Amino acid sequence: MTQSRLQPVNSAATQADAGRISLTDRGSAWLGLVTLFGQRLAFGGLVLLAIIYLSYLGLDMARGAAFGEAAGLAFSKSFAYLGHLLQGDLGLTAAGTITGNPAPVASVMPQLVLNSLGLLLVSLLVAGLLGVGLGLLAAQRRRSNWSVAIIIASMIGISVPSFFAAPLLQLLMVQWTRTFGEPLLPLGGFGWDKRLILPALVLAARPAAQITRMTLVSLSEVLGQDFIRVAQGKGLRGYLILWRHELPNIAIPVLTTVGLSLRFSLSSLPVVEFFFG
């Protein structure tokens, strides 16, 4: 009787202890998350300070100042820039704008950001369409010359960095102009016309190669499944099998690869914009 009466009390105490442990775990998790966010924020601030200082140091040394003098000037200029930055003043552009004169960075930044986002979205669209198309072709024609060529091209696309591909493509365009007398594509400048083709191709090269490989691997696994053979046995046409069964089963890994390739595209975007203006 005594033991049976004590059981509810022990059960309630156990539940209370479990609740306290759960609250403690949640508090520890939130504390860890805030600590991690603070560490990342502090590290990002230090990296920003280092970039500002090294930029001023490089500019002063490029103008002929000695290292000791340039280091002191860069230190004072960095703090002056940070003071203006806290007031919302981003300074003036080093290069001329349309008028040829320096302009406030805040006035030209919105248009430049829109241009960069446009180039980024176009390159991702090109990479997605090209990668999925080539991956489907390589998977459907396995052990053919087309499949081997696509695999080799994807390996080259992953291996070649953008700072090498951009001048190489420009050199090919120059050689084309020398041979045929007319330029095939413009080598620089931004516009929503054929001037966007070269930078979009360079920026889309590696993501397209990664998407091609993922599409090839995923579709090769799907083509070996029983439901594909059943659909073929029922007499479904190839495009229906592709649309109803193959594409839905490879959508998740392909979309994941597109998201992961966005990181590379963002890191390569300044390099591509530097070469193509």
**pLDDT tens profile 151-208:** 999 999 999 888 899 899 989 988 888 888 888 888 877 778 888 889 999 999 999 9
Residue 10: per-residue pLDDT: 52
Structure tokens at 15: 């539940």
* Torsion sign across C-alpha atoms 205, 208, 212, 213: positive
Q: Which of 146-155, 194-203, 214-223, 235-244 is predicted with the least confidence, judged by mean pLDDT? A: 235-244
Who has greater pLDDT, 188 or 135? 135
Residue 275: per-residue pLDDT: 87
Q: Residue 133: pLDDT band by 50, 70, 90 thresholds?
A: very high
* Torsion sign across C-alpha atoms 58, 60, 62, 67: negative
Structure tokens at 271: 């390099």
In the DSSP assignment, the letter for residue 95 is S
Evaluate whether 195 touches 186 at the Cβ level (below 8 Å): yes
Mean pLDDT taken over the chain: 82
| Three-class SS state of 161 | coil
Residue among 247, 156, 260 nearest 207 (CA): 260
The pTM for the full model equals 0.70
